[in-house]
C-alpha cells in the first residue's frame, strides 16, 4: 500500500485552497464531496476527460466505493482521515472528494441557443437555497442556471452538496449582469418571468395565458428582499404564487420549485 497523504502534503494543501472562492477562481477548480457528487462528476468525466482532475479517498472510503474508483481513469490518492477532513466543510466528512474543473459557460449561450427553461438568480445569498434551486431546475428540465452578480458561488461546498449532483447536469453562468442579460434574451425570443409576491399575474393565469410555453427564463431574487424592483420591471410579467393560507411568504427555494414545476407541466 502506498503511503497515505496527510493534511500537510503539497497536493492536499493545494486542494484545500479550493474551499475558498479566491482559491477556486485562481485554480479554475472546485471540490465535490461524497458519493453522489463524485459519481456525477465521474460520469461527466466519461465524455469530458478534463472535468475531474483528481480524487482523494480515505482507506475506508476506498473500500466502500471500490467499484466506483476502479472504474475511472482519474488519479486516486489515498489520504488520512485528517487530510480528508481538511478538505471537507461538513461535520461528518465522507472521505471521498473530487477536484473538478469549473463548469462556467458564457451568458451569451442564452441568446444564441436558448434553452426551453432557464433560471436566473438575482443576489440569492444562501448557499443551501442556491443548491436546492439548482437541483430543482435540473429536475424540471432547465438547461441553464445563471448566478447573477452578488449571488452565492455555485461552487461553494454547501451549494455543491445541496445540488446533489445536479451541478453537473445543467449549464452554469456566473457573475452575469442580469440587467444587461434580460433584454438580450428577450430580443432572442425568450419569455422572462419575474417571481414576485406582489406580481400582477397569478401563476395559474400565466399557465392559462401561455406565458409558460418555451423558452422561458425565470428570475428569482434575494431571500429577504426579493427582486430589485427595477429588474423585476424589465420582465415580461411579474408572477405571484396564489396562497389561500395565512403565510406571509414562501421560502425562496420552495417558491422556485413551484414556479419551475408549473412551467415543466405547461411545456409538456
Domain assignment present for residue 91? The answer is yes
4: in domain: no
Q: Say what the pLDDT of residue 1 is.
A: 52
Residue 88 and residue 115 in one domain: no
Query: Which CATH number is 255's domain given?
Result: 3.40.1280.10
Q: Is the pLDDT of residue 256 over 60?
A: yes
Chain segment 87-101, per-residue pLDDT in tens = 998 888 999 999 999
- Structurally, the chain folds into a number of domains equal to 2
Q: Would you say how long the chain is, in residues?
A: 268
For residue 2, what pLDDT is reported? 64
CA 261 to CA 119: how far, in whole Å? 12
Domain assignment of residue 166, yes or no: yes
Q: Is residue 5 part of a domain?
A: no
| C-beta neighbour count of 252 within 10 angstroms | 23
226 bridge partner residues: 222
Q: What is the DSSP string of 44-67?
A: HHHH-TTSEEEEEE-HHHHHHTHH
What backbone torsions phi and psi does residue 84 show, to the nearest 5 degrees? -65, -40
Q: Any idea what the CATH number is for the domain that residue 14 is in?
A: 3.30.1330.30
Q: Does some domain include residue 3?
A: no
Mean pLDDT of the residues in the chain: 96
Q: In terms of domains, do 153 and 68 share one?
A: no
Same domain, 123 and 255: yes
Note the pLDDT of residue 3. 85
**In the chain, what is the straight-line distance between the N-terminal and C-terminal CA atoms, in Å?**
54
Rounded Cα gap, residues 52 and 150, in angstroms:
27
Q: 216 and 129 share a domain?
A: yes
Instruction: Flag whether 1 is in a domain.
Output: no
User: Is the whole model's pTM more than 0.85, yes or no?
Assistant: yes
**Residue % of the chain over a pLDDT of 70:** 99
Please choose, from the candidates 10, 30, 9, the residue with its C-alpha nearest in 3D space to the C-alpha of residue 20: 30
Write the pLDDT tens digit of every residue in 126-185. Answer: 999 999 999 999 999 999 999 999 999 999 999 999 999 999 999 999 999 999 999 999
| C-alpha span between 173 and 238 (Å, rounded) | 23
Q: Which of 191, 162, 180, 188 is nearest to 231 (CA)?
A: 180
Q: 133 and 90: one domain?
A: no
Average pLDDT over residues 69-94: 94
Q: Which domain holds residue 237?
A: 109-267
Which of the listed residues 101, 125, 159 is the one where a domain comes to its end?
101
Give per-residue pLDDT as tens, 201-253.
Answer: 999 999 999 999 999 999 999 999 999 999 999 999 999 999 999 888 899 99
Residues 124 and 28 in one domain: no
Amino acid at each position: 500500500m502506498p503511503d497515505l497523504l496527510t493534511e500537510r502534503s503539497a497536493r492536499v494543501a493545494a486542494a484545500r485552497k479550493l474551499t475558498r472562492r479566491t482559491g477556486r477562481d485562481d485554480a479554475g477548480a472546485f471540490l465535490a464531496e461524497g458519493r453522489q457528487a463524485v459519481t456525477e462528476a465521474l460520469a461527466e468525466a466519461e465524455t469530458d476527460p478534463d472535468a475531474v482532475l483528481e480524487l482523494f479517498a480515505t482507506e475506508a472510503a476506498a473500500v466502500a466505493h471500490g467499484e466506483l474508483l476502479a472504474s475511472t481513469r482519474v488519479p486516486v490518492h489515498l489520504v488520512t482521515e485528517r487530510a480528508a477532513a481538511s478538505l471537507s466543510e461538513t461535520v461528518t466528512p465522507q472521505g471521498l472528494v473530487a477536484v473538478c474543473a469549473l463548469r462556467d459557460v458564457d451568458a451569451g449561450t442564452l441568446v444564441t441557443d436558448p434553452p426551453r427553461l432557464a433560471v436566473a438568480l438575482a443576489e440569492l445569498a444562501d448557499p443551501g437555497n442556491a443548491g436546492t434551486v439548482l437541483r430543482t431546475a435540473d429536475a424540471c428540465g432547465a438547461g441553464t442556471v445563471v448566478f447573477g452578480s452578488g449571488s452565492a458561488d455555485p461552487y461553494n461546498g454547501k451549494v455543491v452538496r445541496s445540488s446533489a449532483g445536479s451541478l453537473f447536469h445543467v449549464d452554469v453562468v456566473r457573475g452575469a449582469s442580469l440587467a444587461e442579460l434580460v433584454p438580450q434574451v428577450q430580443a432572442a425570443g425568450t419569455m422572462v418571468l419575474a417571481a414576485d409576491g406582489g406580481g400582477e399575474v397569478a401563476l395559474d393565469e400565466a399557465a392559462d395565458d401561455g406565458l409558460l410555453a418555451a423558452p422561458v427564463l425565470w428570475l428569482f431574487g434575494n431571500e429577504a428582499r426579493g427582486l430589485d424592483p427595477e429588474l423585476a420591471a424589465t420582465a415580461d410579467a411579474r408572477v405571484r404564487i396564489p396562497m389561500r393560507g395565512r403565510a406571509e411568504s414562501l421560502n425562496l427555494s420552495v417558491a422556485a420549485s413551484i414556479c419551475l414545476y408549473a412551467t415543466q407541466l405547461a411545456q409538456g
